[in-house]
Chains A and B, each alone.
Chain A
Amino acid sequence: MYRFAISRLLQAIPVLLMVITVTFFLVHSAPGGPFSADKAVPPEVIKALEEQYNLNQPVWQQYLSYLGDVIQGDFGPSFKYPGRTVNELITAGLPITAELAFYAMLVALGVGITAGVGASMRPNTMQDYLPMTGAMIGICMPSFLLGPLLVLIFGIHLDWLPVSGWGDIPGDKILPSITLGTGYAAYIARLSRGGMLEVLSQDYIRTARAKGLSERLIIVKHALRGGLIPVVAFLGPAFAGLLAGSFVVETIFQIPGLGRFYVQAAFNRDYTLILGMTIFLSTLIILFNLLSDMLAIWLNPKLRQEIRGTN
C-alpha cells in the first residue's frame, strides 16, 4: 500500500512541473500587464516597477528563478497588493474555502447517501422516485441559480438567514454550504443508489436474507461497504468540483475565500497570485485524488490484490 502511495506521489512531480510551466507561460502571454491603470502611467514609472518585480528579464530567466523560489515554498510577492506575499493571501483564504468545502461535502454525503441508500431499499416505489427526481433537480439547477433563489426566499422574504459573509453572523454558513453541496448531493444520491442496487442483487445478500437477518443489519453490515464504492471513487473528482464550484458560491455570497481571490487575480493579472494558487490547488487535488484512491482500495479487497499483484 505504501509503495503505491509513494509511486503515485513521485508521479505527481512531473505533473506539477507541467502545471507550473504551462500556467507560467500562459499567464505571461496574457495581454494587459499588472501595471496598466486608468490614469496614464508614465513609461519611466512602468520601467521602475517592472525592474522591481523582475519583469524586465527575459521570460526564461524569470521562469527559472520562479521555479527555484517555488521549490523552497515561496510563491513570491503579489503584484496587485503591494507588500503582501502570495503565501499570506493563500493562508488567508484557505481556511475559509476549506471550511466551505467541508460543510458542502457534509451536506452532499449526508443527504446524498441517505437518499440513495433509502431509494435502493425500495426500488421503483415512491421512496425511490421522489429522492431520485429530487436528485435530478439538484443536478440540473446550477448553483448560481439555486444560491440567489435561496437568498431570496430565506434571506429576504423570510428573513431567517444572512445573505452574505462567512463567520461574521451566526447562520451565514448555512446557505452557501447548501448551495454548493446540493449538486453533489444529487450526484452522490444517484451513485449510491446505483452501487447499492448492484450489491443488493448479489448472491451473498440473498443468502443473508434467507438467514433471516434484519434488513437494516444487512444494509449496514454487508451491503454498504461495497455499495458505496462508486461514491468513494467519486470523492476525488467531487473535491475538485467543490473547489471549482466555490468560485461561484464565494462570489454570490461574498465569502473571502480562495475562489474569490483567484477570479480577482485572473482579472487583475496578478501573475504570482494566479501561479501560486494554481500550483497550490493542483497539489491539493492530486493529494486528495490519491487519498480517495487509497480509500477505495482499502474498501475493495479485489483492488487491493490487484495492487499487491502489480507491486
Chain B
Amino acid sequence: MADAIEGHGSSLWKDAWIKLSKNRLALFGLAVLIMLILTSLLTPLIAPYGYETQNLDMGATAPSLQHWLGTDIFGRDMLTRIMYGGRVSLMVGFIATAVALVIGILWGAIAGFFGGRLDAVMMRIVDVLYALPFMIFIILLMVVFGRNILLLFLAIGAVEWLTMARIVRSQVMALRNQEFVEAANSLGLSQWTIIRRHIIPNTLGPVIVYTTLTIPSVMLLEAFLSFLGLGIQPPESSWGLLINYGVETMEEFPWLLIFPGIALSLTLFALNFLGDGLRDALDPRTSKD
C-alpha cells in the first residue's frame, strides 16, 4: 500500500509522543516516575538525616517541623527511611525487570524468528513454566538459599520473563515476513545481525509498554515477599518492609503506615497509568487525530 500518511510526515515515535501528551494521567505518571528516579539518585545527598540515626528517647513521633513525616519507634526519620526505601524498591523493580527483559526478549526473538520446531519447543517450555505456582517456588528458593538480594532479583526476573517472551515472539513473527527482512537477507546479513539490528528495535513498542507495567508488579511481588519475611532484610529497607512494620502499629502510629503506603501506591499508580498511556499511544489503530 502506498504511503498514505502525507503531509504530516511523522514517525511512529513522534506519533506516539503526541498521543501520549494528550493523556494527562499518563503524563502525570511520567512526571512521578522522573521525580522518583531523581529523588532516589540524589537521596544520599538530600536526605535530611542519616539512614540509621536513632534516637531511642524520642521514639515514634507524629509529623513535625523537624521530621516532616514523623519518626519510627527507634526515632529514625521517616522521610529519610522512605527515600532510602524507595531506592531499594525501585532498584528491585528495575533490575528484576531488566533480568526479565533480557531473557524474555532473547527467548521470544529467537523463537519467533526461527519458527518451526525450535519455536514449538521454546514456546512449549514457556507454556509449561506458565502453569507452575511461582509464589511457591520463590518462597522455597528464598527459604533454601537464604535471603540474598541478588537471588531476589533473579527469582523475580525468572518469573516475569514468560509474558515478555510471548509478546516479543508474536511481534517478531509478524515482522519476520515483512519486506525489509527479505531485503536484509538478500543483502547477505547474518541472521543474528538481522535479529539484533532490525527485528528487536521494531519490537520495542510493546516491550516498552510491558516493561512499564512489569515494574510495578515486580515491586508488588517484592512487597509480598517482604511481608512473609522473605524479601529485603533489615537493615536495608524497602517500601514493602516499611508498610509491613507500619501495619503492626497502625493504631498507635498511623503515619508509619500511611506515608510508605502512599509512596508505594502512588508509584504503582503512576507507572500503571504511564504504561496504559504508552500502550494507547503506540497502538497504531487509535488515530492521533
Contact = CB atoms under 8 A, between A and B. Distances in A.
Direct contact of A and B (CB under 8 A): yes
Contact of A141 (B136, B227, B265, B273): B265
A136 interface: yes
A144 B227 contact: yes
B80 interface: no
A123 to B, nearest CB: 12
Interface string A9-43: 00110010011001100110111000000000000
Contact of B140 (A23, A141, A244): A23
A12 B128 CA distance: 8
A84 to B, nearest CB: 21
Interface residues of A, number: 43
Interface stretch (B44-52, B183-191, B216-224): B216-224
Interface in B203-224: 216, 220, 223-224
Contact of A278 (B133, B224, B257, B269): B133
Contact of A248 (B216, B228, B251): B228
Interface string A271-284: 00010011001100
Contacts of B269: 136-137, 140
Interface string B251-264: 10000010001001
B221 to A, nearest CB: 9
Interface string A245-274: 001100100000000001100110000001
B143 interface: yes
Given A156-B251, A244-B133, A248-B228, A26 B140 contact: yes
Given A145-B243, A152-B251, A136 B273 contact: yes
A109 B131 CA distance: 21
Contact of B227 (A149, A248, A278, A282): A248
A240 B243 contact: no
A156 B264 CA distance: 25
A240 B140 CA distance: 17
A139 to B, nearest CB: 7
A23 B138 CA distance: 11
Contacts of B268: 139-140
Query: In the complex, which of the residues B132, B227, B269 has the most CB atoms of chain A within 10 Å of its own CB atom?
Result: B132
Contacts of A144: 223-224, 227, 243-244, 247
B139 interface: yes
B133 A263 contact: no
Interface in A190-236: none
A218 to B, nearest CB: 22
Nearest to B217: A139
Contact of A27 (B128, B133, B144): B144
B56 interface: no
Nearest to B266: A140
B272 interface: yes
B134 interface: yes
B193 to A, nearest CB: 34
A109 B137 CA distance: 27
Contact of A142 (B131, B223, B257, B273): B223
B126 interface: no
A277 B140 CA distance: 12
B133 A282 contact: yes
A148 interface: yes
A137 B270 CA distance: 11
Nearest to B247: A148
A263 B143 CA distance: 10
Contact of A262 (B124, B139, B216, B244): B139
A243 B133 contact: yes
A177 interface: no
B250 interface: yes
Contacts of B243: 142, 144-145
Interface string A140-161: 1110110011001000100000
B135 interface: yes
Interface string B147-171: 0000000000000000000000000
A286 interface: yes
Nearest to A143: B224
B288 to A, nearest CB: 16
A137 B124 CA distance: 35
Nearest to B139: A266
A249 B273 CA distance: 27
A285 interface: yes
Interface of A: 11-12, 15, 18-19, 22-23, 26-27, 29-31, 136-137, 139-142, 144-145, 148-149, 152, 156, 237, 240, 243-244, 247-248, 251, 262-263, 266-267, 274, 277-278, 281-282, 285-286, 289
Give the 10 A-B residue pairs with the shortest CB-CB distance, closest first: A244-B135, A140-B268, A30-B144, A148-B247, A144-B227, A266-B143, A140-B265, A281-B133, A140-B269, A15-B128
8 contacts: A144-B247, A145-B261, A152-B250, A244-B134, A247-B135, A251-B228, A263-B139, A277-B136
Given A149-B250, A282-B131, A285-B131, 11 more contacts: A30-B144, A31-B144, A142-B240, A142-B243, A145-B265, A243-B135, A244-B136, A251-B227, A262-B136, A266-B143, A267-B143
